[in-house]
Every structure is written in structure tokens, then in C-alpha cells.
Amino acid sequence: MSKLLVTDTTLRDGSHAVSHSFSPEFVGEIVSKLVAANVPIIEVSHGAGLSGSTIQQGFSTHDEWKLIESAVANKKDSKIASLFVPGIGTRPEIITAANIGIDVLRIAVHCTEADVTQQYFEQAKKSGLETVGFLMMSHTQPASVLAEQAKLMESYGADCVYIVDSAGALVPEGVRERVAKLKESLSINVGFHAHNNLGLAIGNTIAALEAGANQVDGTLRGLGAGAGNAPTEVLVAVLNKMKIETGINLTILMDTAEEIIAPVFQYPLVIDRDNLAAGYAGVYNSFLLHVREAAAKFNINPVSIIEELGRRHAVAGQEDWILDVAIELAQKQLVR
């Protein structure tokens, strides 16, 4: 296999797990370590993307632009990527991020809504950025639908389109089928982004590679929403064992994960009842902290909220449903 592109998204997806509290100094330190390890792409932004610091998504402790400035100042030969979610971010944010010096924009939408991304791909290209399409909650649609959505993104200017397992709900067979269909349908790169709710983040990533994926994601120590992501250091170790070339220094990753990332964990990142329920029900991982807060407030089991959100097929942007569901369940308890 030709050299694989690995994106480390600790400083974006990992932001969810620390209540968006990364400081510019911390970002600069981690970027410097990842650069020293030869990680080619490093994603930095609020967990919900550019302009994600809101009451609905969770406020950042530090100004987002300062975080990106710190990343760019330390990037050297690596590329800095940022996530962009239409409706949370707008075109001026793309221009600002490009002017600061990011290299890659990753445009994320629910996997049936690629048609809303055209103006953002066009703006990113106009701003001189590489572009990636993120088809979130990809477990909810068959491979044929995802391929049609990916082809739209390709037509708008995407350089790569990702299958994104936002809920950690996919199993290897489903990953292979979806990635293989995109590879068959597109002339651009195909990527895969895993979550670990079913304990399959590494296994699913390997399945994606077996189906032809060119780009994959990880986070140091698995730090990320829900049960976390594929740990970058574990992923690189496995790839080394498989003789898949990345050019990444495993020792630096292991040391950084152990000595710098592990101490910032706010809670153990394990596949507990809530995370497993979210993966099994197919509920968006960034909902989980909000679910736990609502469950505590109304004295109800968080799994019951997760199961109801799964029945309603909740997607990113529908975080307001969490409180609605919690109130409804609490009222039913009172009636009993």
C-alpha cells in the first residue's frame, strides 16, 4: 500500500471530552509534538467546528482563533485542518481561518445533506484550501446513498470524502461496504473517521483500509466525544505491524499520549453503559455530555434518553431534543 495519510484530531474531536477547554499554550505544545512525530495533518478547532462555541454546542474557554493561530505558528511542514459545519459556521469564518493560515477545511454535514455544502467548498477553494467532505452519521444510510452524496461533494471540489462513524455504531462489514462503494464511485481520496462505542475504532479503521481508504483519523489516547476515537498511537503501532507506511514516529506519539494528554482527561474514557447505549442506538456522540446533564437534572436514567433519541433518529444540530426528551420521560415517571 502507498503511504497513508493520517490526521490527528485530538485538538478538535478531543475538545468535546474536555469541555472545550484547550488553551493556546496547550495547542501549541501538542502541535509541536505531532509535528516532531511527522503527523501530516493536525485538526484544530472547537469540537463542533469553526464558530462552534455556542450555548447549544458548549462554550470554549479560550478564543478559537487564538487556538488556530497557535497551531499555525507551530505547524512547520505539517498541515493544519479545521472542521466546518454549515449552519454553525458561515463563509466569513472560512476566510478568517484561511487568512490565519490553515491548510485544510473539513466540511461536515449529516450524510444526506451534501447538497448544502456547495458554496462552502467553493469558498474554501477560492481561499486556497484543500477540502475534505465529512459524511456524518454514515451508519444511518446504505452505501449507495452515501456514494451519491459523496459524488455531490466531489463535484463541488472536495479532494477527499470521509465515511464518518459519528455514533461509533458501525461494524467492520458495514465499514468495508461503505468505503468500497465510495472508492468505486469517486476519483478522489476516501477517508474514514472512527468512534469506539462498540470497541471497534481500530478494527473498523483497518476494515476501511482493507476496502481502499486513503486517509484515516485518530486522537492521542483516544480522546474524543463519546467513548473516544481510534487512539493515534495504537493505530500507528498496528499499521507498523501491518507494514503500512505512515512515516510517523510511534515513540513520540506514545510519550505525548501518556505524559501530556492523559493528565487532561476529565473522566475515564471507557465503554461504559452510556457510551455502549449510544453506539448501539446510533446516537451522535457529542450528545452524551448533554444527555448526562439532563438525566442528572431530572433524575432519570441517561440510557432511556439515549434510546429515545435513537428511536427519533436524532442528528447533529438537534441537541435541543435532549432536554425535550428528558422532560417527557420525567413527566411519565411522575404519572406512574
195 among annotated binding-site residues: yes
Strand pairing partners for 132? Answer: 106, 160
Q: Is 193 annotated as a binding residue?
A: yes
β-strand partners of 6: 216
Query: Exactly one of 16, 110, 139, 290 is catalytic; which is it?
Result: 16
- The DSSP symbol for 260 reads I
Q: Is 120 annotated as a binding residue?
A: no
The yes-or-no answer on residue 20 being catalytic is no
Do the beta carbons of residue 333 and residue 304 sit within 8 Å? no
Those residues whose C-beta lies under 8 Å from the C-beta of residue 31, and which sit 6 or more positions away, are 11, 42, 44, 70, 71, 74, 75, 78, 80
Is 139 annotated among the ligand-binding residues? no
CA nearest to 214, candidates 240, 180, 247: 180
Element (DSSP H or E) covering residue 83: strand 79-84
Per-position b or e across 265-278, b if 16+ CB within 10 A of its CB: eeeebebeebbbbb
CA torsion sign for 13, 50, 160, 186 is: positive
User: In this structure, how many other beta carbons lie within 10 angstroms of the beta carbon of residue 25?
Assistant: 11
Binding-site residue positions = 12-13, 166, 193, 195, 284
Supply the residues annotated as catalytic.
Answer: 16
Binding-site residue positions for Mn(2+) = 13, 193, 195
Binding-site residue positions for substrate = 12-13, 166, 193, 284
